[in-house]
Structure 1
Amino acid sequence: MKSSRRLMAVVAVSAALALSVPFTAHAGHDDNGTDPDNRNQAVKGFSLTTNGTKAMNHGKSQLERSVITTSWGGGDIEVYDSNYGDNGWHGKADCTDWNALWTSCDIMRVRFNTYQYKTASQWKSLGCHEFGHTGDLGHRSRSNDTDNNSCMRVEIWPQYYDQHDLNAIKAGT
């Protein structure tokens, strides 16, 4: 009896610790935990630069190519850009509000780093990439994007989801 209570306590503490770790969107092609809460996502940008607005608009349009429907007004995907400095990243997507069961994300935050100069096509690629994370896509590598056409790659700048990405979004939402 004491050992089963002890085991239950250990499991409860372990679960609490696991849930307290913040999830940032980067991993395999399934982002393992950044699942959107549904297929309807409202987008809102906050004080974006011209380039940030272009990236947001392109990312939203690419997400629309999938099974996810987007609208304007916010509540699901919040988009920001700022000079976050020379920190090694161009953009980030993370969950800021998990549902009650911690199984899906109610509010995703997308951040574009304006520190490094990017061309217009790179801004579009960045928007596609970060919005891909909001659709539960993780990073792609050379080994699983052999034709170099997925914006989910990190070392090159394609501007669109390929069919593999679209299939992964459909399977995950």
Structure 2
Amino acid sequence: MNGLVPGATALPRRVRQPDSLPPPERLPPSLAGNRSLPYAAINTELAELRLQIPGVTGCVLGGVDGLLITHTMPNGAHPDDLAALAASTFGLGRQIGLSLGQGAFQQSTVRNSAGYLSVYAVNGQALLAVVGEDAVNVARLHLHAPGVAERLADLLVGF
């Protein structure tokens, strides 16, 4: 039994055209574990963002591949998991941008009952993930974090 009403014919299935979306970009080499990165300067940028915005509990710099580069998360946090979640957020945002023709991923924020996770594009290799309490001023975060992401991108040039 084919599940059709007697006498009915099946409609042909629509096949998605393979060229409807551009092919995904190849991921650049991972920055995770690169000992020549300017970690002191990177961590200073992350720490300053945390100090500038009350309610920010920590920051993670991760690769678009989901691997942790460095972080300023408090003890007990899981920065490796946050780097992977940031990459997942980036992947979803990138696909949305491609599907809607809205361009490259820039930023995404998830609000939960007790806080926020905001992910910002740093460059083609790295993402800045910022964790905040529920009381964090998200508008202020969105004003300051892109500048931090730009400075981080400058620090990562050549890697």
TM-score (norm 2): 0.26
The structure with the larger Rg is 2
TM-score (norm 1): 0.25
